[in-house]
Chain A
Amino acid sequence: MSNFPFLSVLTVAPLVGALVVAFLPRRRPDLAKQVAFGWSLLVLALSVVMWVAFQADGDRLQFRESYPWIPTWDVNFTFAVDGIALVMLMLIAVLVPLVILASWHDADASKRSVPAYFALLLVLESTMIGVFAAADVFLFYVFFEVMLVPMYFLIGSYGGHQRQYAAVKFFLYSLVGGLFMLAAVIGLWVVGGKTFDWQTLTQVDISTGTERWLFLGFFLAFAIKAPFFPFHTWLPDAGRAAPAGAAALLVGVLDKVGTFGILRYCLPLFPEASKWFAPWALALGLIGILYAALLAVGQSDLKRLVSYTSIAHFGFIGVGIFAFTTQAGTGAVLYMLNHGLATGLLFLVVGMLIARRGSSLISDFGGAGKLVPLLAGVLFFAGLASLALPGTAPFVSEFLVLIGTFTVNKPVAVIATLGIILAAAYVLWMVQRTTQGTLNPELTEVKAMHRDLTLREKAVVAPLIALILLLGFYPKPVTDVINPAVQATMQDVGKTDPAPEVGSVQEAAK
């Protein structure tokens, strides 16, 4: 079964689905929705088969396929996944059907074509899978850039308030990062002996100066994508303007390309430069955790608030990556998955609230729990998962990041822990101001606010809640897959975990 070309099929399948959906008649939007949903379920089924076929203790990169593309430059369609990429592929496969289900009526209100909305979602899925499955630097870059186009139109055509501004800002920020990376990609190609093959490039020795420049080129693109402080300003705008489903994919998956890129490209390809820049990256991560959390506390818009919480979470992921221990690294990767689930859920639930109220301002809510108790409960749960309450999946990852960092760098770990307190502040305040307390009389006048979760919405949130709880209590199936890949990455950087004895801790911190 492992000979089956999983990755190319997974990349192409949503694209074919998108074409089918795009050519469905505009007058039959329901058909388009059903086809898109069915298609994404097929992709999910195939991904599950691939997950089963993946051998956690096998080679680092599995399901490798390679087909020539541009021989003159030695560009190939090379696909291969390690444990990290596999986890991300699963996240995409799980999230997209749920997002399609959650966005069932999102495009109806706009004057735009409804089939086109779902076709764009499937195109987005295809490019997202491609970006995680690529094992050729050129191919990765192609997906990295093309990914912008469907997201641009999702925000720009179907978004809410200030969608044009947000779409253009999103596109330009990402494009700027991408172009820096392009220069670095070409540079890597020249110094790497004119090849784009990831495995070959990891073996190349690069002079210190060049390595640092190339690292910066890649890192800048990923830091904008992730986004890390101070390149984060596009995310709150994009997150606020995007339709809730697209926003869930934006912060849940698209932004993970940044942190994934650091793990897959920056660390193994430029190990020395990664170590040299690590203190700076840690500092950016820490600032992100605290600064974004503080800003989140002060937000008056629900979607902007959720966007800022994810910037804070990305700070945690960044710290986990640049701590250079297996524990912290595994925690970071696990966090990428759990954040996708938790924030994805939070965005979708917030989207449901906003769709009912017709406004995303927190002050327009208040006591909503009395009208829609179930929805309020799910919001509370999603919030708790977001603040990493023990028993929910994000707790495991946050804890792993913190103890993994603590063994090598106590001050960083201690400062990062402050982020947990702030997380409690922004989540609980948000929940209190929207669903608790006295009922806002204006709310009762909105008819839609009297309708609690529908069956469709229950079908959206149930799998996510189940997964968050499951991975909160029993993360082993996932960590087993992640661990070898993270260990291999740390070996690329040349960092070994500190021996578990007292006294050697300071040494390894260097």
Chain B
Amino acid sequence: MTELKLPSIDYPAIAPILIMLGVALLGVLVEAFVPRRRRHLVQLTLSLLAVLAALVMVVLNADARLVTAGGALAVDGPTLFLQGTILVLAAMSLLLIGERSVERGGAFVAQAAVTAESADDRQQAEGRNGATEVYPLTSFAIGGMLIFVAANDLLTMFIALEVFSLPLYLLCALARRRRLLSQEAAMKYFLLGAYASAFFLFGVALVYGFTAGIPGRSAGVDFATVHAAVSESPASDVLLYAGMALIAIGLLFKAAAAPFHVWTPDVYQGAPTPVTGFMAACTKVAAFGALLRVFHVAFDRAAWDFTPVLGVVAVLTMLVGAVLAVTQTDIKRLLAYSSIANAGYLLVGVLAPTGAGVSGTMFYLAAYGFSVLAAFAVVTLVRDADGEATHLSRWAGLGRRSPFYAGVFTFILLAFAGIPLTSGFMSKFAVFGPALESGHAWLVVAGVLTSMVLAFPYLRVVVMMWLSEPGESTPTVAVPGGLTATALMIGVAATLILGVVPAPLLDLATDAAAFVR
């Protein structure tokens, strides 16, 4: 019997992942042993410290370019850049999640098991402290995302996908108010997400079959083997195409690309707003990180085959997002469709088979994450007695009631619309430039045309806020607690700074654009 050989593991390189998952487990213990009234503070501090520690480790690893844990994880430029991005955005999300002064007890339900709309439910909605389980759940999700962008084989990627998806399904169901909507969102997200995972797994199996029979290599789903198999495998290409398509479906679902986007508006609307922000920012980074790695490392030699298909998906995504955003009357749904359209622009960057394409996409992800979190932070503040007032008609005249927050939101909308001197413009340039360079002029034209359409809903909100008179039902803007204010300011400052001096982050992304295989 041969001795089992353990793979060598570079612990410092994967420390960010270990810290996040370790603290998530610790958080579970805190739930069990720390008195209820102290849990919120302990949990929040713990998860924030974990994110900061993980971020420090990412920075310390900055020069690492290696494959470790038996080929399961790749710690290279894109991994570190995306992990850093996820962690910074996660820290902002945690600040929003931890906010308790805007609404008594926080944005989360006190006991998720209470029947919605019952007397108990009304009582908890009145101000019992929200569940603190959200912190370990969030930490698990962050840990899963960190693995997802580092995964160097398809199976690890699948497990990471599940690790970060399951907590998200739960988090979606935990809104304090409008519980039915929230539970419906979680149910939809879970069911469709389960399908997507199944597609992904089936795709992995097909690709595994495809890799069998390469001379001098055993079958496997690590990216190096898949990369070799694309040109050398004697197996039928049908396996490759089917496998690639199914894997792409799994990933595009998470990325909210059309036609796998249908869950997005419902989930964004139903989930507690801090969680929506977390999903819009961090999940997007993780999903596109995985897309970049799969299509630039594993399937890069099949670029001729997948580019037209994914290009069509990108155009469709932009169109669906932009056109349907025009018809929305709820600010959270509007932001959801805008995030779908942005997924289309990001795909344009993914499809540029160059380092500039990778760095442009990564820059876009970071810039968009900051803006979208700031946008949702403002959404948490605009409220009346029944919680957040998300219907657009309620935002009329907001500029008169609270010019500061309306101004901030206007600025973010201008960034979404891609007006210069905001990060939105720079990131559009960062993905359209490489796309045009690679000859994808049609994608750029589609991007430009949909941007025009998309400008209209944004402008409508601006008009609503500034040029309409405030009505009786115009809600007030709550004074944000320190946590929300910090997150909001970070997001707005980043949107401005990345729009005026994008060079440092662009250089960082450019330096980090090379994958290891």
Contacts and interface: CB of A to CB of B under 8 A. Distances in A.
Interface of A: 68-73, 141-143, 145-146, 148-149, 153, 156-157, 163-164, 167-168, 171-172, 175-176, 179-180, 182-183, 186-187, 189-190
A193 to B, nearest CB: 11
Given A145-B419, A175-B417, A71 B455 contact: no
A171 B414 CA distance: 12
Nearest to A175: B455
B467 A163 contact: yes
B419 A146 contact: yes
Given A142-B421, A179-B451, A180-B448, A190 B433 contact: yes
Interface stretch (B116-124, B143-151, B503-511): B503-511
A183 B444 contact: yes
A71 B503 contact: yes
A149 B432 CA distance: 23
Interface string B421-433: 1000110110011
B452 A179 contact: yes
Contacts of B441: 187
Contacts of B503: 68-72
A186 B507 contact: no
A168 B459 CA distance: 7
A189 B451 CA distance: 20
Nearest to A113: B403
B466 interface: yes
Given A167-B463, A182-B428, 4 more contacts: A72-B510, A142-B421, A142-B425, A179-B449
Contacts of A167: 463, 467
B437 to A, nearest CB: 5
B436 interface: yes
B399 to A, nearest CB: 9
Contacts of B419: 145-146, 148-149
Contact of B437 (A153, A176, A190): A190
B77 interface: no
B510 A175 contact: no
Contacts of B429: 73, 182, 186
A171 B459 contact: yes
A106 B510 CA distance: 50
A351 B417 CA distance: 34
Contact of A142 (B420, B451, B466, B506): B420
Interface of B: 414, 417-421, 425-426, 428-429, 432-433, 436-437, 441, 444-445, 448-449, 451-452, 455-456, 459-460, 463, 466-468, 501-503, 506-507, 510
A171 B433 CA distance: 25
A182 B345 CA distance: 15
A168 B464 CA distance: 11
Nearest to B422: A146
A164 B436 contact: no
Contacts of A176: 452
A186 B433 contact: yes
Contacts of A183: 432, 436, 444-445, 448
A153 B433 CA distance: 31
Contacts of A175: 417, 452, 455
Given A172-B455, A176-B452, A190 B436 contact: yes
A332 B426 CA distance: 35
Contacts of B455: 171-172, 175
Nearest to A167: B467
B357 to A, nearest CB: 13
A146 B467 contact: no
Contacts of A73: 429, 433, 506
A146 B421 contact: yes
A116 B265 CA distance: 37
Most buried by A among B428, B436, B451, B467: B467
A164 B510 contact: no
25 contacts: A69-B501, A69-B503, A70-B502, A70-B506, A71-B503, A72-B507, A142-B421, A142-B425, A145-B420, A146-B419, A146-B420, A146-B421, A149-B419, A156-B463, A164-B468, A172-B452, A175-B417, A175-B455, A176-B452, A179-B448, A183-B445, A183-B448, A186-B429, A187-B441, A190-B436
- The 5 closest A-B CB pairs, nearest first, are A142-B420, A164-B467, A72-B506, A183-B448, A179-B448
A164 B451 CA distance: 21
A72 B419 CA distance: 20
B interface secondary structure, majority: helix
Contacts of B451: 179
A374 B441 CA distance: 59
A24 to B, nearest CB: 15
A458 B2 CA distance: 102
Nearest to B417: A175
Most buried by B among A157, A163, A186: A186
A347 to B, nearest CB: 23
Contacts of B414: 149
Nearest to B438: A190
A157 B444 contact: no
A186 B436 contact: yes
Contact of A172 (B418, B444, B448, B459): B459
Contact of A187 (B436, B449, B510): B436
A167 B433 CA distance: 31
A365 B459 CA distance: 37
A367 to B, nearest CB: 37
Contacts of B432: 182-183, 186
A231 to B, nearest CB: 14
A141 B420 contact: yes
Nearest to B356: A72
Nearest to A141: B420
B259 to A, nearest CB: 25
A146 to B, nearest CB: 5
Contact of B467 (A71, A141, A156): A156
A70 B507 CA distance: 9
Nearest to B455: A175
A148 B468 CA distance: 20
Nearest to B500: A69
A195 to B, nearest CB: 12
A143 B445 CA distance: 22
A208 B143 CA distance: 53
Given A168-B459, A183-B448, A156 B466 contact: yes
A186 B441 CA distance: 10
Nearest to B399: A157
Nearest to B447: A183
A300 B236 CA distance: 74
A168 B420 contact: no
A7 B507 CA distance: 29
Nearest to A71: B503
B466 A168 contact: no
Contacts of A146: 419-421
Contacts of A168: 459-460, 463
A189 B452 CA distance: 22
Contacts of A164: 463, 467-468
B426 to A, nearest CB: 8
B153 to A, nearest CB: 32
A143 B441 CA distance: 25
